[in-house]
Structures are given as structure tokens and as C-alpha cells.
Chains A and B, each alone.
Chain A
Amino acid sequence: MGYLDGFRITFNKLFDERVTTEYPKEKRPKPERFHGRHVLNRYEDGMEKCIGCELCAGVCPAKCIYVRGADNPEDAPISPGERYGFVYEINYLRCIHCDLCVEACPTEAITESKLFEFSFSNRQDAIYTKAELVVGDDGRPQQMPWELWHEDDDANTSGWMRATAPAGNPDFENRVGWSGELGYGVRAPEMGQHAPEPVEEIDDPDHDDHHGHDDHGGHH
């Protein structure tokens, strides 16, 4: 019918399924590598991973991280190295959750949980201090009263670095290149991008050209 075809389409839409997720009432599952509120990890022995190098603060495009390092006290060291993060603050009124701090961190100290439903009634609460960011004794993030945690939001915080080979180099795929975590130990690698699940990818003759590309990662 030419010009009038559109009317049929919009009319048929009346009987289509609705795509809306009614957010506060129902919630969609989050992606594996969701960027949420940060955590500061600890080693298996309870030592903090942060060495106060300030690389995260340097790389942060929103300038929301403030770090000051200090020498470890000799009698009671806080991190295994020479220095530790003495002050560590993240301002969540500025953070854009780009995860550049996570990539910059040399010791896997800062990673992100999946929590995003948190709000504050004053600016002071929006600035998370080290005491709030460091994981608890079970290796899980601390839960603040103004945060709404869901199932598994706190479980997979270091998934990013275990996802595939470091620096995207296929030679290192499935090789452990990370340290242990408090409460979890040294975690097994997650399946990399060459995991043998999608059949059509294995049959693909161009398959080998795709080695080392990171853009397939993340959807298992």
C-alpha cells in the first residue's frame, strides 16, 4: 500500500510484547564485567594489595581518586611491599566507572564490584574512604547501609583480570598471572576467548586471524 504500510506496522505493535523493564520492580541480570562500586583487595594472608603508587589516581580521567602512600611500619606492615596506601579516597560524585584505575593497578589492588544502586544524602557520604573500600575478612566488599546489594554483586570482583590472557596475548591464555585473594585463594582462570563453546567460530576458516583480539571476550 506504499504510504500506508507504516500504519499497519504501528497497529501490529499494539499486540507485540513490551520491551520495558520496570526497573525498581524488576531487575535485569548484570553483565559479567559490570563496572560498579570499587573494592580494595587483600592477599590471602590479610595484607592489603595497595602499595600507594597513585597510578590509579594518575590515570583517572575524572580525577575522583585521591591516594597518599606511606612507608610500611616495620613492626606491623600493612602491605607486603615497602609502602602502602595510607589514604585512599574515591569520590563517587565524580567517578564515571571507566575502570581505567583497575587496568592501571600493578597489584590488582583495586577492582570493581557490580553494585551501582547506592545514593547519598550528603557529599561526605559520597567520598568513600579506605576503611569503606577495603574488603572484609571474608574477602567480600563491605556493605554500607545506603547501598543495595544483590545476589552475586560482590562475588566476582576480580573477574576482569581472569577473563582472558593478560594484555590480550594468546600465549598467556588460561595461565595464572594474578595473585591470590583473601577468602578465595588463587582463583582459576575463567574461559578465554578461545573457549570451545560456539561451534560456528571453530568452523570459521578466518578463525586464526582473530587471535589476540579482545573484542570477543566477556560473553560466556
Chain B
Amino acid sequence: MSGDPLFVDGVDWGDVGIMGLKVLVAFALLLVATMFMVWFERKLIGDMQNRIGPNVAGPWGLLQTFADGVKFFFKEDLRPENADPLVFRLAPYISAVTAFLSFAVVPVGGVFADVEGQTGTVTIFGKETFLQVADPPIGILLLLAMSSIAVYGVMLAGWASGSKYPLIGSVRASAQAISYEAALGMAVVVVVIMAGTLSTHGIVAAQAGGLDTWFVVSSGVVPFVVFLIAATAELNRPPFDLVEAEQELVGGFHTEYSSIRFALFFLAEFMNVITMSAIMVSLFFGGPSGPIFFGLTWLWPTVWFVAKVLVFLFIFVWFRATLPRLRYDQLMHLGWKVLIPLILFWLLFVSAKELRITYGWNPVIVFGAVVIGALVGVTLLIAALRAGDRAYQRELEEA
């Protein structure tokens, strides 16, 4: 085995086996979870609309998604004449693969109690390991990278379809994703500053303890709210589903897709919902941490993790049942003029607070400087918005 760079620094077959096992389990669990997410959403939205929802395939309609999947496989795979053959085929895989990859950094278990020696590891085959597929030092950046690449899946799908509605849908998708990624990223930055690490495992470990150490509380609720709204927009879920606004764009970017390629988009969409919920739990709600009552110490964190994720899945469906779709200018207004300034100022507050603690600066001076800085910023922002409105009014009058 000499010369093989895989087995250096004490890496042996055990590590490779564990890695392979983790990838397999994560892949399978994510697929099954997505299947049940689709069922969960349809059932819940039915309940919220006084309907019954799927109830024919399997008990309580549990196998409905499975039945749909089988149906997709047997449908005719159409490709429009004007479509770009290579890109048209490539786009669904970009969406699906990025959806799978983002989940790799989420810690789904391990005891993170505030006790020495409890650092979220479990022992498999006599080796200590994290209950997450990978814990790269860049951690949370991988999520941002993947959600940016996923935009390519949507954008290329719309462009390659050679048809106008998909193109409009995908242009909307990329504009929306770029606008909200800024707010999303800055909400993440707040958490990263407080945790002092980019690694998702490190972020979860930094929240170990009680409810008050969860970042949703200790960062103020604002970053979480901004993250939740921006994540909903990033996922193209209602009320931000302008990308596939059925009433205007037929199906948006996936109008021309059928059969298994459509199924891949569908899969990616719901998988992203699960991943985003899991990320939110990891960033703001302490990931798998929670009280451990009896027996099976290693199982409880995973139970807590799943329970927390389920709450967010419920919230996403709740959004869909409640909120009407935003108009496009409202979407841009909310993104650029509300969320981004809000999270920018919050970032200013939080980083000033952290710096003050690190360097032991005078709290009054720091607080005063931050308030003055924020006031100047707000004044400039309002002035800029007014100037923009005036220019727009002038244009209207001239026209």
C-alpha cells in the first residue's frame, strides 16, 4: 500500500469504512426523509385547508410519494426541440447533487452537553467520530456555496429549456437568490462571530448548555428571523415562490421538464427544505443538544435534532398555507430595503459587543459609537431611498 495517500497519518480501513457508512446512511435517510416530507406537506396543507390530503396509497397515504416516484419513472421523457441538449440534461443533476451535498455538514447527533469530554462524538468500530458526514473547517461556507451553485441548476434549466416561461422563472430565481443570499449570509456571519468558528460542529458545540446559550436567544432574535425569511426565499417556497408561480409562469423553470428529470427537481426542492431546517436548528437552536433522560445516551440527541427539524418543517408548511405570494417589487423591497439593512446593523451591534469583550473596551464608548454609526447609516439609507423614489417619480412624470 505504499504510495497511496489515502492511508497516511494513521488512517486505516476503519476510518474509510465509517466514512462510507456515514455517506450511505445519510444518503438513504435523506431520501426517505424527503419522501415523508412531501407526504407531510401535502397532508398538513390539506388539514389546514379543511381537506383530507393523500389517504389512498398506504396507511394514511404514507406511500403517496413512493407511488408518485414510480409513476415519474414510467413517464415519457420529453425534451423540447429548442432545448440545449447537454445543459438541459445537466441542470437537474446540479440541483439534486447540491441538495445532497449541503446536508453533509449538519451534525445530526452526538452528546453536546456542557461537560468536559462531551464534544459530540460517538464511538463506532472502536473509533471516535462525529455524527455528521463531514466537518470541514469551512463548514457553514459549504452550505452557502452549495445554495449558490443550486441557483445554476435553476438558471440553466430555465435557459436551456428554449422556452419563455422557464426563462422568466429562472431569471426571477437568480435575482431572488442573489438578493436574499446577502441577508442569509450576514445572518450566518452573526452566528459565526459569536461562535468564533466556521465549522458547523464547532457552532453547535459553542451552543452547548441551556436554552440561553442557543444563538437564537444570545444573538437576539433578529438574526434568526432574518435567516428564516431569507431561507424561505432561498428555497423558493411560498410566499416567495415567484420562481414557479403557477398562475403566471405555468411551472417556472421546470415547465419543460417531465419524467425523472422533473422528479429530480422536485426531490431537490424538498430536500433543500429539510437541509435548511437542519441548518437553522444547527445555527440557532443548538443542533442535537437537549436533555438526556434515561438509557441510550447516544440516541437522545438525534431524537432532539429530529424533533427540532420537524418544528421547522411544520413552519415552512404553515407559511405556505397562510401567506399569499409577494409581488416582485415587494420581494425586492423586503430583501434589499428591510432585511439587509436590518441584519447589517445587527451585525454591527454583535461584532462591537464581541470586540468589547475581547479587548475589554469601555462599554459606554463602544455602545455610543455603535449607536452613532447606526444612526448615520439609517439616515444615509433613508436619504438614498428618498432620492431613489424622487428619481422614479420624475421618470413617471416625464413618461
Which A residues contact B (CB, under 8 angstroms)?
6-7, 9-11, 13-14, 16-20, 22
Contacts and interface: CB of A to CB of B under 8 A. Distances in A.
A22 B49 CA distance: 15
B321 A10 contact: yes
Nearest to B49: A13
B41 to A, nearest CB: 14
Given A20-B52, A22-B52, A14 B322 contact: no
Contact of B322 (A7, A16, A18, A20): A7
Closest 3 CB pairs of A and B: A6-B322, A10-B321, A10-B322
B318 A16 contact: no
Contacts of B51: 18-20
B248 interface: no
Interface string B29-68: 0000000000000001001111110010000000000000
Contact of B50 (A6, A7, A11, A18): A18
B396 interface: no
A11 B47 CA distance: 9
A19 B50 contact: yes
B87 to A, nearest CB: 40
28 contacts: A6-B322, A7-B318, A7-B322, A9-B322, A10-B48, A10-B318, A10-B321, A10-B322, A11-B48, A11-B318, A13-B47, A13-B48, A13-B49, A13-B50, A13-B321, A14-B44, A14-B47, A14-B48, A16-B50, A17-B50, A18-B50, A18-B51, A18-B52, A19-B50, A20-B50, A20-B51, A20-B52, A22-B55
Contacts of A22: 52, 55
Contacts of B296: none
Contacts of B321: 10, 13
A22 B322 CA distance: 25
Nearest to B324: A6
Given A9-B322, A20-B50, A22-B52, 20 more contacts: A6-B322, A6-B323, A7-B322, A10-B48, A10-B321, A10-B322, A11-B48, A13-B47, A13-B50, A14-B44, A14-B47, A14-B48, A16-B50, A18-B51, A18-B52, A19-B50, A19-B51, A20-B51, A20-B52, A22-B55
Nearest to A9: B322
Contacts of B52: 18, 20, 22
A114 B50 CA distance: 29
A44 to B, nearest CB: 49
B225 to A, nearest CB: 12
B338 to A, nearest CB: 13
A13 B48 CA distance: 5
A120 B157 CA distance: 42
A7 B323 CA distance: 8
Nearest to B56: A22
A16 B51 CA distance: 10
A14 B49 CA distance: 8
Contacts of B50: 13, 16-20
Nearest to A21: B52
Nearest to A15: B47
Contacts of B49: 13
Contacts of A14: 44, 47-48
A49 B333 CA distance: 71
A18 B51 CA distance: 5
B330 to A, nearest CB: 13
A10 B318 CA distance: 7
Contacts of B48: 10-11, 13-14
A22 B61 CA distance: 14
